[in-house]
Amino acid sequence: MSHPHKSMLDEFQYAINHFAPTLPPEVKTEAQVIHDKLEADETVDEGALKKAFYSIGRKEYPHRHAYEELTHTGAEALMKQMVIDHVDETVRGFIKPLLNEGVSLEELVASEIFESKLDAKQRYQVEDGIMVAKSKLADKLKAHVGAQATQYEELVGKWTAQANEIEKAINDLEVFSQGGEENQQAEIKSKVARFREGFLVTEPDPSLEEVKKEIEYWRETFAQEE
C-alpha cells in the first residue's frame, strides 16, 4: 500500500534533489531526514507535511535566490568563460561571439540557432559545460573563495531580509482576520494560508507585492465600513 500523501512526498524529494548547490549541507541533510520520517509514517496528516515543508522552505529560500541572482549577474562572465574553455574549438567559435555580445547562457541554449547550428554532441558540450561551470562556482562559494563568495553572502543577507519582510507582511494581514464579518474573516485566513504556503519548499514563492496589495485592500474595506 502506498503512502496516502505519496505525491506530496515525491514533490518534496524532487525539491531536495534539486536544491541550489550552495545550500548548506546540514539543511539538505535535515530535509532528507524529515522526508524519510514522514514517508515512514502513513498516519501523518497533510497539515504536518506542510509544516515540515515550510520549515525547510524558509531555510532554503535565501540561498536559492542568492545563487540564482549571482549566476545571472556577478558570476555570469566567469561562467561564460568556463563554458567557452570547456567546449572544443568548433563550438567555441560559434558560441563565443554570441556570449561576448551579451547573450546569456540560458538564452543561448533556448535559442533556435542553438538547435539548428549545432548537432546533438555539440549541444551536449555546451550543456555539460554549463553544469560543470555551475558546479565549479558552487565549490568556490562553499569554500568562500574569491569575490563571488563575498557577493554571495551579501545576497543571502538580502534575501533573508526579503523573506523576513514577506513573513511580517503576512502576519500583518492576519491581524485583519480578527475583525469584520465571519465570511470576511474566513477569506482573510484563506489568503494568509495561501501566502504562507508560498514558503513551502514545493510551492511557488510568495510575493511581497501581492501581500501588501491584500493588506491595502482590507484596510480600505474596513475603513469604508466604519
Q: Which tens digit of pLDDT belongs to each residue from 58-74?
A: 999 999 999 989 888 87
| 221, three cell numbers | 474595506
pLDDT for residue 76 = 87
pLDDT for residue 145 = 75
pLDDT for residue 1 = 64
> Which contacts (CB < 8 Å, 24+ apart) does range 86-95 have?
86/125, 86/128, 86/129, 86/132, 86/133, 87/122, 87/125, 87/126, 87/129, 88/122, 88/125, 90/122, 91/118, 91/122, 91/125, 91/126, 94/118, 94/122, 95/126
pLDDT for residue 208 = 95
Q: Using DSSP, state whether 177 is helix, strand or coil.
A: helix
List of the chain residues with pLDDT < 70: 1, 226
pLDDT digits (tens, 9 = 90+) for 140-172: 888 887 888 899 999 999 999 999 999 999 999
What CA–CA distance (Å, rounded) separates 114 from 111?
5
Q: How many CB atoms lie within 10 A of CB 74?
A: 16
What CA–CA distance (Å, rounded) separates 29 from 164?
24
Three-state helix/strand/coil letters over 45-92: CHHHHHHHHHHHHHHHHHHHHHHHHHHHCCCHHHHHHHHHHHCCHHHH
What does the chain come to in residues? 226
| 50, three cell numbers | 506542510
